[in-house]
Amino acid sequence: MRLRFLLFIVLASPAFCGSTSAQVPTRADSLRGSLSPERTWWNVLRYDLAIAPNYEERRIAGVQKITFEVVDTVRLMQIDLQQPMQIAKASHEGQAIIWTSEGNAHFLEIPRGLMPGDTARVEIHFEGKPREARNPPWDGGWIWTRDRMGRPWMTVACQGIGASVWYPCKDHQSDKADHGASLSITVPDSLVAVANGRLMEVQEVDEGMRGYAWQVSNPISTYNLVPYIGHYSHWSEAFEGEGGALRLDYFVLDYEMDTARQHFSQVNRMLACFEEYFGPYPFYEDGYKLVQAPHLGMEHQSAIAYGNRFGNGYRGLDLSATGWGLKWDFIIVHESGHEWFGNSITASDIADLWVHEAFTSYSEVLYVACNYGEEAADEYAIGTRRSILNDRPIAGELHIHQKGSNDMYHKGSNMLHTIRQLPGADTLFLAMLHDMNRRYRHSVVSGREVEAYMQEFLGLDLEKVFDQYLRSADVPALEYSLYRDSLYYRWTNCVPDFDMPLRLKNGKWLEPKTHWQRKAWAIDEWAPLEIDPNFYVLHRQHISPPPGEASELDSSPKQRTPKDVRGEGRKSE
């Protein structure tokens, strides 16, 4: 998912104050976001999708074949397809079936003779004018545009709005197509059609028309299955990685070949760094592709959309304002990081999209470390805090297709960077990332499952840390006062009982609680009191009077519950 808000923040005011009201779920939200009985009785095994886009009419006609496994008593089958796209007809094993519709949800009457363990297939013919993306990739939909020479150029970006904006599917992140997918695309023979996975066949269909058949062998989420259609030229290379020879394919507009060949030389170094940190690239069987797109970029599995103008940074900007972000192409690094976090390890609900974005944003930090050292990586991580809004929690509400704040990117990354600083975690954190990708390879996980795994692997109680950074909009603040020979300190602006240890810049540790504590103060030992900047926290110093009386030591600070979504819009200090 892309960082639309970041460009605005870099160019506009550095601070933000405000609140957001809670979303009131509608019936449509529940149909889209919940795991209803009409969705859970069947498990998607494979999608076989064939389409014929009509550029002049902005229409798509296609056939979707869904192979599925029966896991429970057969009920109506919910298929998602967003208006104005329409189902033309549907069949099960060659027999026509009827359906009813409620908005964008369509309920197919599957024969009741199927039993748990059976495998079956439905075939759905569909057509229509899909919603057009107004500002891709952030505002999703089909993209009909032209290249610089005025020739047709088409693709789709649909992570937020969902793949059902253009084809029928079970549009929920919890159910990947376990056995992969195929995408067959029929286009005029002047165009080249590219999709995920391997190119299996190119054939002449009718006079002036050509068909391209692509196939994915690994599990894939619906929003990742995407066509690219344009006047593409192509070259391929090989990367000798941990899983053997990985095929690298590059598809760019024919007039961009020379520029792209030089710029994409970054890919090998990026893959080497990420395999070192995360383990083998997750999709050796399907290869790795960069495909030039008419929008900034998206993490489409094994066929990453690239539109960063063949330059370093994020459209030429350094999102950290440190200089390190201009030494590499943000889209190549960030979107490729999603191959591990998002495409291989997939959150089961869009509310837990922080699992994709926090870890992938932290992959940027690790890429800097891999190439320029840990000190540079720390500077980059700290620099990205300038984009954090603290407007609402980064974990959304489950089962209503609601994601959390866009702070899931750099606030999520800085949460991970903070956890990495905790006693014991510094020596285990990188091993955890490697093990995490081994354990959850090609899997669907919940945010809570990831939290529990991290606590178990690191041997730390991080429950309050996750409540603070994921389910509250506030940044914890160390409130303190220096008086005579004592330091008085506590956590405030935090969830109840927040107790995260904190390292000072001189290497010494404090263990603040949410009530006042007192520690002997020696000028030579402590002064000046400076917090290690690798911790994403605030600090607030009292000048006078210090909370030195016993009654004041027992006083409680203002605390926030994990459900508080207002926040103070404060940045780290």
| Residue 304 to residue 167: CA distance in whole angstroms | 20
In a domain, 489, yes or no: yes
In a domain, 309, yes or no: no
Residues 462 and 379 in one domain: yes
Per the rule left: phi > 0, alpha: psi between -120 and 50, beta: everything else, 332 is alpha
Which residues neighbour 422 within 8 Å (Cβ) at sequence distance 6 or greater?
Answer: 458, 460, 500, 501
What pLDDT shows up at residue 562?
A: 44
Residues 363 and 386 in one domain: yes
Residues 341 and 382 in one domain: yes
pLDDT in tens, 294-334: 999 999 999 999 999 999 999 999 999 999 999 999 999 99
Which range marks the domain in which residue 537 is found?
Answer: 477-553
Q: Assign residue 402 the CATH number of its domain.
A: 1.10.390.10
Residues 464 and 347 in one domain: yes
pLDDT at 132 over 50: yes
Residues 451 and 516 in one domain: no
| Count of the separate structural domains present in the chain | 2
Residues 418 and 397 in one domain: yes
Say which DSSP state 499 is in.
-
Residues 422 and 488 in one domain: no
CA angle (242, 246, 248) in 5-degree steps = 140
What pLDDT shows up at residue 18?
A: 29
| Residue 70 to residue 119: CA distance in whole angstroms | 6
In a domain, 523, yes or no: yes
In percent, how much of the chain has pLDDT > 90? 85
In a domain, 428, yes or no: yes
CA angle (360, 364, 368) in 5-degree steps = 155
Residues 496 and 545 in one domain: yes
Q: Please state the φ and ψ torsions of residue 349, each to the nearest 5 degrees.
A: -140, 145
Residues 488 and 520 in one domain: yes
Residues 510 and 400 in one domain: no
What pLDDT shows up at residue 16?
A: 25
Length of the chain, in residues: 573
Last residue of a domain, one of 448, 471, 494: 471
In a domain, 291, yes or no: no
In a domain, 450, yes or no: yes
pLDDT in tens, 75-114: 999 999 999 999 999 999 899 999 999 999 999 999 889 9
What pLDDT shows up at residue 482?
A: 83
In a domain, 122, yes or no: no
What pLDDT shows up at residue 559?
A: 53
| Residue 117 to residue 72: CA distance in whole angstroms | 8
Say if CB 362 and CB 410 are below 8 A apart.
Answer: no
Residues 383 and 455 in one domain: yes
In a domain, 344, yes or no: yes
Residues 467 and 341 in one domain: yes
Give which of 405, 355, 363 is closest to 380, Cα–Cα.
363
pLDDT in tens, 334-374: 999 999 999 999 999 999 999 999 999 999 999 999 999 99
Report DSSP letters for 226-275, one per residue.
--EEESEEEEEEEEEETTEEEEEEEEEEGGGHHHHHHHTTHHHHHHHHHH
| Residue 225 to residue 264: CA distance in whole angstroms | 23
